[in-house]
A and B are shown apart, each in its own frame.
Chain A
Amino acid sequence: MRGILHVDMDAFYASVEQLDDPALRGKPVVVGSPSRRGVVCAASYEVRPFGVRSAMPMGEALRRAPQAIVVPPRMHRYAEISGQVFAIFHRFTPLVEGLSLDEAFLDVTGSRGLFGEPRAIAQQIKDAVRTELGLTCSAGVASCKFAAKIASDLQKPDGLVVVPEGIAEFLAELPIERMWGIGPKSSVRIRAAGYATIGDLARAQPSRLEALLGSWGRTIHALANGHDERDVIPDHDAKSVGGEVTFEHDVYTLEELEKPLLAQAQRVAERLVQTGTWGRTVTLKLKYGDFQSRTRQTQLEEPVCDTDSIYRAAHAQLARMPGLRRGVRLVGVTVSALSERSDDAPLLFPDPRIARGKRLEDVAAKLRERFGERMVTRAALLDEPSEQPEERPAGERGDEHDD
């Protein structure tokens, strides 16, 4: 049986702020842009009893907890600490799949001989994170990713939950909202159809779930029964880099999609530039109000890694998508066919925009490093939250999950 860990830092951004500034410890801290139109990137455990959650508009958060201390995000610092956290993960297994700065799957099946049973490994990781970095995290241990992910969330903060062999029984009593990917909107829809627990979903006719949720329904049915064969894919083997965002309200026009798409293109570009990777395939994903997903992809003549090129390619795919009239709830962009670019294959007519875009990304990356994450962005994105609190590789249905 496999040993899969899901490790999730507790209120990561807020905890880092409390770590760096002792005056914030024990206080209600909200990380996010102080403007009322911004969103909450992270909320410390002190402020959560007031109902403040990540992804909530800042105005609402401050109405609920006027005493909260708002701290602007420092992505560079979080990335730095994240690197240290991941270094600890890597002591125990090379099979680490990062989902975002603050959470990862670890496959420790082959590490037992060295470090003991998965539960013991999870405990050692938690201890190391606490003593070396002064932070807490929660871990879930199971034989598959899906159950590990649920388990890590059950005893937050500082939790450690081991899922016994009968995964389905363990899951059965949990409310459907615990499932990865079922957010507030889907949960209303699923509950209205008469399913309240994961067990209800497990017992449902797969065809009924499919009618309700599209092809995702079959996936949900398999997961609810504890069937999840997905492997932990180590980051250095990543075949693609993606980002996606779910909207608070479905959008119906091309114009409304453009800014979020640009924001995702920018995030993907930043990660490509960070890792020195280029990609030739750009995939656009839309999820519609009726939960159907559609993807369209294009193969570029030249590998790219800059925001504008990725945006241009993704935007061109929008025209090939079925009508937006039924409402779009999620937009995502993924770059694949990755390579470390070299001048091994010169071109007859290199696209000057790609080289220019790359230079711009390099400069922007340097500025961010020196002056902080909010220092450089596109004018069009000034109103957009600069970072989403949840960030997952495309293909994972983690977009609605809230810790």
Chain B
Amino acid sequence: MELTISKKNFLRGLARTHAVADRKSSMPILSNILISTDGPGTLRFAATDLYLAVSATAEAKVTKGGTVAVGARTLFDIVKNLPEGEVTLTVGANHAAEIRCGKARYKVPGMPGEDFPALPSPGETKLIDLDVEVLGELIARTQYSMSTDDTRPHLAGTLFEGDGKMARMVTTDGHRLSKAERKLDGAMLNFTMLVPKKGVDELRRLIEDAKLDRAKGDDTPLVIGIGQAGGNAFFRREGVQLSVKLADEQFPPYAKVIPQQQEKRVIIARGPLMEALKRIALVASDKSGGVRLAVEPGKLKITSENPDVGEGSDELDVDYAGKPLTVGFNAKYLLDVLGALPDDEVALELSGELDPGVIKPAQHDGFVGVIMPMRI
């Protein structure tokens, strides 16, 4: 195997893949990046931890084709520190990779590329394009309420659905739930997948990477192809493909716990509400983080007390004309959902003091956040 590649392309290929390599695995090959030539002008990079797999291609001048697996961390660090310019990569009979750039030269041990596990492939499945902005927004709105409890894998992920008209993401950790959806014109998406947390994190990286390209004046279309085959989800953009082993679990019946008709609707300016919550959370109990929200016509009062610290209260003018009600919530849960929304005004919908609270943007239905109350 012999080729030359610009440092920039080499580094980009490695940067997109190396983080997925699994350094802790009992299969040593997984700590490697697989490098293979793909025709005379392309080099392919691939890494997997058997749950996630990322492959990326980069332009290169291939003199002699071949494939080799090299330690991901070492190779990334080496290439990152090379001087700018053309890099020559040569792999000899014993799989050792020689890297030359300017007068710098390295020789690092490798393993036969054939020993690297086969990466999942979508096969004949056609991937459907979804706008990167839409995908990024759905993730950004819902990440805060995803569970990190790895004993409940059916919650430790994002439910990603398409029903022909809407693309939707839902997450819940049992204490709160968020659902974000966007209408789609054109593409007829019909699918449902439970993407584990690690997969969502990697997908987010893929989106950031795509946005970065645009910022640099890259005029590639900003879409990500989405498909599902053989228990894996596939996300593909120009030159990069991510596959995620989907959780074989049943996401809970979320629609049932989203209150349909809440009696009381309070319209509040989001920024001032967050500030007031942060202020009063300072005197909430560490364990529960509980604050009391008391609504009455035109007014929202937030109070909290903690025998060890003291008590505090703050008031906001709000748009509300219904009956008074007091409900307890974990301030952090409120702040999380408010922080995930860009809207200036939000609606807080309440029913009774022991019923879940709902936070929505005041102007549209693209998002619902549900928070369980607490008795305080």
Contact = CB atoms under 8 A, between A and B. Distances in A.
Interface of A: 298-302, 309, 312-313, 316, 320, 322-323, 325, 339, 342-351
B370 A345 contact: no
B151 interface: yes
B41 interface: no
B26 A348 contact: no
Nearest to A321: B24
Contact of A344 (B176, B257, B356, B375): B375
B255 to A, nearest CB: 12
Given A301-B147, A339-B287, A348 B152 contact: no
Nearest to B173: A301
B68 interface: no
Interface of B: 24, 26, 147-152, 155, 172-177, 252, 257, 287-288, 330, 354, 356, 370, 372-376
A348 B376 contact: no
Contacts of A348: 172, 174-177, 252, 257, 356, 370, 372
A345 B174 CA distance: 10
B372 A345 contact: yes
SS of B interface (majority): loop
Chain A CB count within 10 A is highest, among B175, B288, B374, for: B175
Given A301-B174, A349-B172, A316 B356 contact: no
Nearest to A282: B151
A270 to B, nearest CB: 20
Contact of A347 (B24, B150, B372): B372
Contacts of A298: 148-151
Closest 9 CB pairs of A and B: A349-B252, A347-B174, A344-B375, A301-B174, A301-B149, A345-B374, A312-B151, A316-B150, A348-B257
25 contacts: A298-B149, A298-B151, A299-B149, A301-B147, A301-B152, A301-B174, A309-B151, A316-B150, A316-B151, A320-B24, A323-B24, A325-B26, A344-B288, A344-B374, A345-B175, A345-B374, A345-B375, A346-B354, A347-B174, A347-B175, A348-B175, A348-B356, A349-B155, A349-B172, A350-B174
B124 to A, nearest CB: 34
Contacts of B155: 301, 349
Contacts of B24: 320, 322-323
Contacts of A347: 174-175, 372
Chain B CB count within 10 A is highest, among A301, A309, A323, A339, for: A301
A349 B288 contact: no
Contacts of B149: 298-301
Contacts of B176: 348
B263 to A, nearest CB: 19
Contacts of B175: 301, 345, 347-348
Given A301-B155, A348-B372, 16 more contacts: A298-B151, A299-B149, A301-B147, A301-B173, A301-B174, A301-B175, A312-B151, A345-B288, A345-B330, A345-B372, A346-B373, A347-B175, A348-B175, A348-B370, A349-B155, A351-B174
